[in-house]
Each structure stands twice: as C-alpha cells, then as structure tokens.
Amino acid sequence: MMRGLFLSILVPVLLRADARPALSGEERTNGEQVLKEVTPMLPEARSACAQVVDATGGVLASAVWVGADGYFLTKASETPEIEKGRIRWEAAKSAAIREIKRLPEHDLLLAQAVGVADVKPVVFDVASPLPEYGEWMAAPVKGGGEIRIGVISARARGIPGLGAAMGIRMDEKPGRSGVRVLSIAEDSPAGAAGLQGGDVILKIDGEAVADFKAVHESIKKRQPGDQVQVTYRRKDKVEVARVRLASRTRIMMNWEGEDFANGGISVRTDHFARVLQHDLPLSPEDMGGPLYDLRGRALGINIARVDRVTTFALPAGVFWKQVAPLIEADRHPPRAIRP
C-alpha cells in the first residue's frame, strides 16, 4: 500500500459564488474552438488510426496502420484474443484480423486486417530527438474521429515492471485445502472475474496451489494482460473464473480506489524500456493509437493510461526497428531454395 496522497475532493461552496463568467466548454484547452484550429493540420493522425473491437462491437483498443496493405500495431495486453474481434476504421469500414506477432517487451501486437489494401499508414519519425517538457502533442481518439491535445509533462524514461497481479489479499495461514481470499482490490482483475472475499483458491491453470506463496509465484511469472483460470470453492461449490491479470503497480496504487482516474486505467501500465509522458485527456481505449506533435510528426504510440494525469507513449525509436522487418518478412515469406 502506498503513502497517503494529498488532494481533497471538491466541496461545492467553492463553485458557488461566481464572480465572473466561466470559460465555456468550447473555449477550454480541449474544447471545440481550440480543436477546430488544430484538427485540420493533422489529417494523417486521423486516417492512421483505427479501433480493435470485440465480437460484440465493444472497443478494446486503438490501432495504428503501419502498412497500406492492412498491417497495424495495437496494445497487446488489451487484445488477448484479437482474431475473434475485428478492426474498424473510417466509421463504416471493418475487417477480420490475422495476428502476426506479439512483442511483450513493448506491449505491442502486430496484426493485419484481412483483405485490405488501401489504408493510409503512419510514417514514424525515428530521427528527431525526443520531445521535451512543454511541447504540444496531439493524438486521435475514438478511432480517429477526433483529436486531443496536451503537453509533454515529464522526463522520458524507462518504467520498471513489478510483474502481474490479480488484486487479492490472501490468508497466509494454510487452510485444510487451498488458499483463502481475504479481500479484493477495487476495480481489479479478480473482482472483474467475480472472485470475492472468502473464496478458497484451489488451482491456477489446473495446477493445485497449497499456500499463498504458490499462488504468488504462479502469478508473478506471468505478464499483465495474460489470462489465468482460477479454480475456487465458494461455500460448497467449486467454480472456475477466468482472470485477466493487470500490472502489479496499477493494483497497488489503486487498492482502495484512490486513483480516481476518469475513465479507467490500462491493464498494463509498467515494464517499458522508454516512455514519453504527457497530459492528454485520453482513455484506455485510445491506447494503441499514434502520438503526434503539432507539426504532424508521428512520434510514437500511446501505450498506457496510468492515472488521472498520466499517459505513457512509446517513442517510435524504441520499437520501429523491430517491427519494420517483421512486416517485410510477413509480406515476403522465405521460399524453399531450389536445388
């Protein structure tokens, strides 16, 4: 658990006595008036963006086109079974998805939209130095429908990973069988999968767990975004829950719902070689989309919505050298050499 953080929640009296008219919604930093000025300058930002949706049409993540023939990158940990879903762009178009490769070190997934030949891919800027404190950034949201702006708000840096977690507190005293769950974190993978305090965990992915250490070890070696099957006993019934793990950091920071993030946090928020941090008002579903500066240079991919003030983006230099050859290799699979 973390230290207390000071910032209180608003008391209504402060809003009550207006001395002067307030700034209307359109005039705010991300209001229509400002965006109307910025959006026309970034046509590529919108056309390079798409959305990955699940079988029922729910948005899982954003995506960025990296090849005119339908190659795209998205956020791996938000798209576990991507081939069951579809990719959607320009409001009406959609296609089936072929998964090519997951890059767990970047939380990226390379895939292709099946039968697509005419999308407008991004051209990443890998040569320019990384943007610094105070530089305006822009990103498409809602699959390219709109643009948001903000600034680089902290130093570019690596984010260490503390592994994955379900968000449960366990009884350290061994029971007759299995491990008793004491409590569940707010907005946690365990809670989302239906686990409750009092449940007794018997197996993880079919393997019996004797004590809390066994559960801990089993979870620790996995990645945020991975799914595990948890077999548990509630009262006298044995049931199975599918839990999609999240970053340990994310769960510890938000154990009691302190985070207050407006629209949620990404499943994986850590373990990145290098990130840019910015203050754009984005949502977890916007992750996987491209990040631009106001000159229209594509600098990277938004990769994690972390909290109310923080979004991380991967600079293109971190992943593009790895991704470009994968696309080439997929386009031209090696043929058997003739004797």
Binding site for other proteins (CB under 8 A): 2-24, 27-30, 33-34, 37-38, 41, 132-136, 149-155, 157-158, 186, 253, 256-260, 262, 277, 279, 281, 294, 307-310
Which CB atom, from 13 or from 117, has the smaller least distance to other proteins? 13
**Which of helix, strand or coil describes residue 282?**
coil
Q: Which is nearer to other proteins, 41 or 162 (CB)?
A: 41
Q: Work out the end-to-end distance of the chain between its first and last CA atoms, rounded to an integer number of angstroms.
A: 65
Q: Are 254 and 284 in contact (CB under 8 A)?
A: no
The contacts of residue 195 (CB under 8 Å, 6+ apart) are 166, 168, 181, 184, 230, 232, 241, 243
Residue 138's alpha-carbon distances to 18, 141, 250, 285, in angstroms, are 32, 10, 25, 16
CB of 266 to other proteins, least distance (A): 16
Cβ contact 136:293 at 8 Å: yes
Q: Which is nearer to other proteins, 85 or 284 (CB)?
A: 284
Smallest gap from residue 277 Cβ to other proteins (A): 7
Best CA proximity match to 219, nearest among 254, 264, 251:
251
Report the nearest approach of other proteins to the CB of residue 241 (Å). Answer: 22
Q: How far is the CB of 248 from other proteins (least distance, A)?
A: 16
Q: Which is nearer to other proteins, 94 or 254 (CB)?
A: 254
In whole angstroms, the minimum distance from the beta carbon of 50 to other proteins comes to: 25
- Strands (E) located in 154-281: 157-159, 164-165, 168-170, 179-184, 200-204, 207-208, 227-234, 237-244, 246-247, 272-278
Nearer to other proteins, 21 or 333 (CB): 21
Buried b (16+ CB within 10 A) or exposed e, 107-142: bbbbbbbeebeebebbebbbeeeebeeeebbbbbbb
CB of 14 to other proteins, least distance (A): 5
Instruction: Rank residues 78 and 187 by Cβ distance to other proteins and give the closer one.
Output: 187
Q: How far is the CB of 305 from other proteins (least distance, A)?
A: 12
Distance of closest approach, residue 149 Cβ to other proteins, in angstroms? 8
Q: Which is nearer to other proteins, 95 or 136 (CB)?
A: 136
Report d(CA 78, CA 82) in Å as an integer: 9
Report the amino acid identity of residue 248.
Answer: R
Contact 293, 39 (CB under 8 A): no
* Comparison of 131 and 178: residue with beta carbon closer to other proteins: 131
Token digits of residue 110: 């390379």
